[in-house]
Amino acid sequence: MLGAGGQRNQRKAKGTMDFAFQRSYRGPLKGIILDWAGTTMDYGCYAPAVVFVEVYRRKQVPISIQEARVPMGAHKKVHIRKISQLEPVAQRWETVHGRRPTEEDIEAMFQEFIPLQLACLADYADLIPGTLEALKDFRGRGLKIGSTTGYTGDMMKLLLQEAKRRGYEPDATVCATDVPAGRPEPWMCLQNAMQLRIFPMEAIVKVGDTLPDIEEGLNAGMWTVGLARTGNELGLNEAEIARLPADVLEARLAVARERMRQTSAHYVVDAITDVPPVLDEINARLARGERP
């Protein structure tokens, strides 16, 4: 038997069901969520990479810095596990230890990783040039500034102090250890939105230097900007970039940009200093009723 509502729907079904009204957000951006290493500090994203190499060296399984960089962006323990699953690494491990790495090996390496990472984090805490100017631009637009990271809470506590001494204080920081799972799952971004009390998600843009950074933003329903030059994709610091022949640098940047586009980043630029004009474009798209 149909109630009053059911009868109404039945009448509607005869003529008006072909169209539905949809609410769309037309306001401006309200927040920006920034990654840490390779985005605002640690040009080339070296701090984690060198420690992953050291942790594997201590297990008599040498890995290259390129292998150490493959899973960058993930929770650091997940990262250690993912390195161990790279086939060449797993084979080298088997040659040395007579078996593939186990979950116990991963846990043991993570426990070694923590103090080693804490010991050298401050050495890589300098802000990427132009970060303070970009932050000033974001603040000038009235944006709240959030942040996400694959670092643990203890590591972030230290880095937040280092960042503050250099003039950078985000309004919110969420670590992989604060949520059920880190990148590429969206929880760190959503937790930022909640802490900053900003919505809807299409009023927020996520900026980062790795593919999981882009995925976490997309999974959260936010706009995403990938940084190709200052982070893990290129994997070089300023001095190393300065020594590269221009054509080699351009070729390597082209690969990084393409990988980020293939991951469906809305925008790919070189560095955080290139983000302000992107925000203008996103605001124009929002005003037209577009969504990420």
CA dist 211 and 70 (Å) reads 10
Active site residue 35: yes
Scanning 29-37, 100-108, 192-200, 237-245 for contacts with Mg ion by CB under 5 A, the matching segment is 29-37
Instruction: List the beta bridge partners of residue 146.
Output: 33
Active site residue 76: yes
Query: At its nearest, how many Å lie between Mg ion and the CB of residue 227?
Result: 8
Query: At its nearest, how many Å lie between Mg ion and the CB of residue 152?
Result: 15
Catalytic residue (choose from 30, 42, 76, 77): 76
User: Is 215 an interacting residue with respect to Mg ion (CB under 5 A)?
Assistant: no
CA dist 125 and 41 (Å) reads 6
Question: 32 or 37, CB closer to Mg ion?
Answer: 37
Phi-psi region of 38 (alpha: psi -120 to 50; beta: other; left: phi over 0): left
Residues 33-72 that bind Mg ion (CB under 5 A): 35, 37-38
| Two structure tokens written together for 254 | 């082209």
Scanning 1-9, 106-114, 170-178, 201-209 for contacts with Mg ion by CB under 5 A, the matching segment is 201-209
Query: At its nearest, how many Å lie between Mg ion and the CB of residue 139?
Result: 22
Question: 84 or 230, CB closer to Mg ion?
Answer: 230
| Helix residue ranges, H only, the chain | 4-15, 47-57, 65-69, 76-84, 87-97, 103-120, 131-140, 153-165, 187-196, 211-219, 238-243, 246-262, 275-287
CA dist 187 and 34 (Å) reads 14
Scanning 28-36, 102-110, 169-177, 195-203 for contacts with Mg ion by CB under 5 A, the matching segment is 28-36
Q: Which residues are catalytic, by number?
A: 35, 76
